[in-house]
Amino acid sequence: MAKRSRSRKGAPGIIEVAARAGVSPATVSRFFNTPDVVKSPTRKRIEQAASDLGYIRDRMAGSMHNRFSGTIGLIVPTIDNAIFSELIEAFSSQLLVHDRTMLIAAHGYDLKREVGIVRSLLERRIDGIALVGQDHDTIAMNMLAQRNIPVISIWNYDQDSYLPCIGADNFAAGRTVTKHLLDLGHRNISLVFADTVGNDRARERLRGALSVFEEMQLQPSGQNLHTCPYDVGEAKKLGIDILTSVKPSAIVCGNDIISHGAIYACQALGMRVPEDVSIVGIGDFRGSAHMEPGLTTIRLPAKRIGSLAADKLVAMNESGMPSKVTHQKVEMNFMDRGSTAALQTP
């Protein structure tokens, strides 16, 4: 039985490279970390030797001293959902630009699972971590704090967050789309949002939506507030329910995925969007612009957030942790497309 073959056969180390280049290992190390400090001819010899041998650095060994591993963590509720994949891609490729790599994991909206994931990432010595939202388990936060790891919260902007954050104003987003519907004359409006426990993004959006009703002295009846998971099929099913029972003239969806389901629900029932029902979403995911009708929604710059978060985390590494917790708000754009129209007075 080939017990954990220790082979590591053809892998040359810094020492082999040094020997071949006729320098000391220290110099080879410097060549890779601070090239400007080694003389040009030496540099050339090392470069040659390394390439001859097919040398590949062992960042892990290096990290023993450094205390920097060059990997940064990202924990999202779920990967398998248009909501976050854009973010992930942007975060990852921006890290690559900084010569870092991404360790990613999903907790499936289960904050308890997040704790285990944080631990697992910490065991791998991440240099920093980005978390979605501001709702997290204390245990996880303590582990991070004790180790003094840069943490930032992304996706939701919260002026008073105890963590640095980069995100959008979800409250405002909820307001904007709801107001748009009211401005169009709709009054019988259904609200379909994701479960808000442990999900500050959804919570804020819903708060925003409700605040508009309040301002207008309108009360959405309990009957008009619905909870729905981030799933097109579920949303469609629920949509059909709502459209046949409550018969709203418009639906505010907490998220584009839900909107997609709602639009399909209308189509399945033979109702026209926006003539019979107006629908708005939040997010502006891939595809939302191109479906028929195009979805009226709010563009949440996922790419921008991912990219900024990567930059920020790297910066926190390189310049030591800033004492000040910064909050960065990214802009959102209202995309007025074809899924909403003024209420047809019958």
Partner DNA sequence: CCCAAAAATGAAAACGTTTGCATTTTTATT
Partner DNA sequence: AATAAAAATGCAAACGTTTTCATTTTTGGG
The site for DNA, by CB under 7 A, has a size of 29
Cis peptide before 293 (omega within 30 of 0): yes
The b-or-e profile of 42-70 (16+ CB within 10 A means b, else e) is bbebbeebbeebebeeeeeebeeeeebbb
Q: Please state at what angle helix 40-53 crosses helix 25-33, rounded to 10 degrees.
A: 100
Residue 29 interacts with, from DNA, a copy of itself, none (CB under 5-8 Å by kind)? DNA
Residue 14 interacts with, from a copy of itself, DNA, none (CB under 5-8 Å by kind)? DNA
Residues 6-35 that bind a copy of itself (CB under 8 A): 6-11
Q: Which of 345, 316, 332, 296 is nearest to 186 (CA)?
A: 345
141 binds a copy of itself (CB under 8 A): no
Residue 267 interacts with, from DNA, a copy of itself, none (CB under 5-8 Å by kind)? a copy of itself
Comparison of 5 and 159: residue with beta carbon closer to a copy of itself:
5
Residues 142-181 that bind a copy of itself (CB under 8 A): 142-143, 146-148
Using the rule CB under 7 A, which residue among 1, 9, 26, 206 binds DNA?
Answer: 26
Residue 51 to residue 259: CA distance in whole angstroms? 54
149 binds DNA (CB under 7 A): no
Using the rule CB under 8 A, which residue among 22, 35, 229, 233 binds a copy of itself?
Answer: 233
Using the rule CB under 7 A, which residue among 19, 47, 53, 57 binds DNA?
Answer: 57
CB-based contacts of 326, cutoff 8 Å, min separation 6: 164
Using the rule CB under 7 A, which residue among 2, 5, 7, 39 binds DNA?
Answer: 39
185 binds DNA (CB under 7 A): no
147 binds DNA (CB under 7 A): no
Using the rule CB under 7 A, which residue among 48, 51, 52, 58 binds DNA?
Answer: 58
Comparison of 62 and 293: residue with beta carbon closer to DNA:
62
> Which window, 157-165, 171-179, 206-214, 288-296, contacts a copy of itself (CB under 8 A)?
288-296
Q: Which of 342, 235, 232, 339 is nearest to 293 (CA)?
A: 339
Q: Is 183 exposed, middle or buried (0-12, 13-18, 19+ CB in 10 A)?
A: exposed
Using the rule CB under 8 A, which residue among 39, 40, 67, 346 binds a copy of itself?
Answer: 67
Residue 13 interacts with, from DNA, a copy of itself, none (CB under 5-8 Å by kind)? DNA
Comparison of 69 and 176: residue with beta carbon closer to DNA:
69
197 binds a copy of itself (CB under 8 A): no
Residue 333 to residue 182: CA distance in whole angstroms? 19
Residue 52 interacts with, from a copy of itself, DNA, none (CB under 5-8 Å by kind)? none
What is the CB neighbour count within 10 angstroms for residue 196? 17
Q: Which of 274, 255, 252 is nearest to 178 (CA)?
A: 252
Q: Backbone dihedral region of 280: left (phi > 0), alpha (psi from -120 to 50 degrees) or beta?
A: beta
Q: How far is CA 178 from CA 9, 210, 265, 343, in A?
A: 63, 8, 20, 14
Comparison of 128 and 133: residue with beta carbon closer to DNA:
128
106 binds a copy of itself (CB under 8 A): yes
62 binds DNA (CB under 7 A): yes
